[in-house]
Chains A and B, each alone.
Chain A
Amino acid sequence: MASRKRPPSKIRTISIEPNYVNRDGSALFKFGDSAVVCSVNGPTEVKLRDEKVDKATIDVIFKPLVGLPGTKDKTHEYIIRSTVESVIKSNLYPRTLIQIVCQVMMDDGNILATAINATTYALMNAGVEMKDIAVAVACIVNKDGNILIDPELREIEKAQSYHTFAFSKTSFGLLFCESTGLFTEEQYFECYAICKIAAQEIIDKIRMKIQLDLT
């Protein structure tokens, strides 16, 4: 296996392209060669069946790179929805629908974190009111016990455990976490700490991008 070209705790180059598709809000988010486009429609009309009287209905559709959506993509939808549900001020938009569509454009690992970040940016781009901002980072622990942040596909294949975290911007609390594989408590909290630092870096990138777009 060719060793990675960047240090273990360095994330890949982030690039963000707002207004990627012509919707209420959209963004393309890239971690190196992993890219997800997210578009947000809303607040818009909701089907009577899904209507909630006191808050907005949030619908997430996750489209894989190739093929039809499977259980994995459904799980991603569920994760993204429950993560953004806790940050969007959905009680400001009762009886409406906020529809979020994520499409994977390039897959080189770390897709879930990429999708969450794309969704965050697209929501801001759409002007949906939020009380917080969610940013996600993933890392793996490899067979030698080293922690590699923002793993690429070939690194994930050989991982001992795989962790994805989503943090909130204001309190840096844990919004979402999915860890699979075999690991110890110490390893977990080490991953947690490293990902938290990386999350700060992503927030800075997002802020810089917004400032750049506004000027």
Chain B
Amino acid sequence: MLFAVLSGFIVAALAPWLMGFLKDRIGWGLALLPAGLTLYFASFIPAVSGGEVVLQHWAWMPILDVHLSFMLDGLSLMFALLISFIGTFILIYAGAYLKGHEYLGRFYVIMLSFMASMLGLVLSNNLISLFVFWELTSVTSYLLIGFNHRDLDARKCALQGLFVTVAGGLALMAGLVMLGLVSGSFQISEVLVADGLLESPLITGIIICVLLGTFTKSAQFPFHFWLPNAMAAPTPVSAYLHSATMVKAGIYLMARLNPALGEHMLWTVLLCSAGGITMLLGVYLAYSATGVKKVLAYSTVMALGTLTMLIGIGTDYAMIAFASFLLGHSLYKGALFMIAGALDHETGTKDLTRMGGLRKAMPITATAALIAGLSLAGLPPLFGFIGKELMLEAVLSAEWQSSLLLVAAVLTASLGIAVAAAVAIKPFWGKVGDTPKKPHEAPVGMWLGPVVLAATSLLFGILPFLPEGWVVAAAVTSVKGQSVDFYLSLWHGINLPLILSGASLVAGAVLYALWGRTRAPLTMVNDVFSRVGPEVGYFRFMSAMTGFAAWQTRVLQNGVMGIYMIVLIMTTVVLAGYTLLSQYGLHLTLTGIGEVHFYEWAIALLMVMAAVYVIFTRSRLGAVATIGALGFSVALIFILFSAPDLGITQVLIETLTVILLVLVLFRLPGFSHYSSRFEIWRDGTVAVLFGGLMTLLMLGALDTRYFETISGFFVEASYPEAQGRNIVNVILVDFRALDTLGEIFVLAIAAMGVYSMLRLRAEVKDDRG
């Protein structure tokens, strides 16, 4: 399985190169990979449906309990099959949709990387590697949404999607780490059977953090707003990421962790309420939208809400409904998105109100749309019908707020039928619309996917034991944590769900009939709500954040060097001073002051006078001379205290310095008096504090000695090992020769800097001349 996951990344790296060979057939060529993966995963069907869980393990960072380990059970298998099966047709479709696009190669690189990340996500058996793949899907999806990077809107929407999902990802990481710590293992297979998880004091935090991650990823209320905006992506991306795969990552994780966390009340309440609200809000927004991709995006939000709610309900029926609804939705939504892309491609508009009667021009697309639409509407004999019936059944079986959820579910079903009709019937039947381009049938690459997916919906609806035996039963076992006895069928006899379905069909038909007339009032209502919705909060937050960043930059990076230095110095003074005084105390010692010779006093006095005089002098020559006096005093100190080499060097350097200063500084203007009285006092205080701190630090260092000096080694080894009698020189050129080499480099770089600045000036002058 490691190779199955990595193959996507490998082929992604080769994609631009393959472009050169395959040219326009690139989509077909690359689709061989997911097609092969579909077969590979399908080969596990007998084992997994027999109840086996396939585990494979590669140690990655064993010391951190992070592994590239994979688990293939019913749930993973269903997702893996959907990802590779739908991925096959998406790649073919993209080849036709983006034919001749200048960045097609780049598109395939990101798309294949995304596919591989998604496979890694659903197959991971390790919380940390799952998180890594999770973030990879966020990043690749950002690149895909912003694929038309010259378009400002696309970039903004991509950034929005990234911010929302990555912010949730941060919370998720905290949740997963806590989960791993509490259950004592980061392996998911072990987390699911860990004891005492629900009794842990961290359980509330775990649930909230994990759900923040999954809700943002799966566009649950109040984070649903990024998903419709993500439709700025090219349609193949929307069809793949924002219907069948990425947005289902959150759903996957909730389903995956359901056996471990599902018994907790908070889990039930949060999932049911967020899911229920998202479902209803999504279908309402889908009904009120007119752009074909927007309608589909909101209906995806609806489906994601439904799935979340079903996990939250958590009964046997809910789990069966979850698996069936998920499968059904992926099939018809993938198909419908591809059809939407074909419509856009062939008619030149996304606006549903301008489409109509396209059945004659695009017969194949129309048939696929009709079937997929029926499945979306939940009508027999499509697989979507089974999913919807089970969903109603599940809501009836709910233990928490069953009646409220039922009202929401029936409303959703009714509106859903109207939405399905708007997408699948409106463009193809009725009066011929007025479209910018003269419509004709889409190329084979663009109708193949919808046709296959729609046909699969039909096949699974008529023969429901096929998906049941293959993956649905095993997936239900994974989500429930134990096996559940059931069979899928179209006909369950006349029962409450069927009656509710019938009622919603009538209501849906009425709502569709009113579709044209409700546009204007609904747009008005939505305009009002868009001013208070969560998306407004997002924009407020973003502008506040950039505002804060600008303010902070203005304050901290104000360009005044004095302020920078004061901040740095005072931070040092406060931190070091506090530590020194609190740990060591204030000790103004004067040890050995009586042994100081009079000439040493004289030098000390000279240095102090120089230091003070230089502050008050207004003459540049005086300042330079004072600096010279200070430097030579330092040289004297070196010589008096047994450091002849230092003394010699200091005298040489000091001489050079004075010459340099005299040469250069006198080309600069004289000292001006810039500072105000306040600045003088402020800088003086800072200087006194810093000088005082240094004195105290030195006294502290002199009066405490934690360990002996290491110089003994150099003194003893100098002659026997390095054949040198001047120990300081031996250290410089032998024991610490690399340091000296570094020093030479510093000087060389400084010399080059000086030289280039002088040259630069010469050239500027030449230019002027």
Partners in one complex: no
